[in-house]
Amino acid sequence: SICYSIITSVFAATAFLLSWAAAFGCSFLSFTSTSGFTRPVTIQFGIWSYQFWTVATSVGGSIIFETCHRYPSDMEADPYLRS
């Protein structure tokens, strides 16, 4: 029926857009470490980028910026990443 076709098309388009958005950000894979820290620390990786922190210090204090950085072009890929 037409209703079934429309619903499946909407679900397929939504799944595609959500997976596409996750691939370009830093949140494709996420690991949370609780050992050695007072609060849990989450590290995130994307297919083409990774999470990076920069500390900016001034007279008033320090600010931590969280950004996504592309992997370097000279990064060696292991055999599992290449296949």
Rounded to 5°, angle at Cα 51 from 49 and 37: 150
Q: Across the chain, which distance is largest between two alpha carbons, in Å?
A: 67
Q: What is the pLDDT of residues 39-62, one digit of tens each?
A: 787 777 777 777 777 888 888 888
For residue 25, the model assigns a pLDDT of 67
In this predicted structure, the answer to whether residue 82 has a pLDDT above a threshold of 60 is: no
Q: What is the pLDDT of residues 67-76, one digit of tens each?
A: 777 777 887 7
Of 63 and 21, more confident: 63
Of 47 and 6, more confident: 6
Q: Quick check: 30 and 46 in contact, CB under 8 A?
A: no
Of 11 and 60, more confident: 11
- The two tokens of residue 36 are 């050695």
Q: Which residue, among 21, 23, 22, 26, has the nearest Cα to 69 in the 3D structure?
A: 26
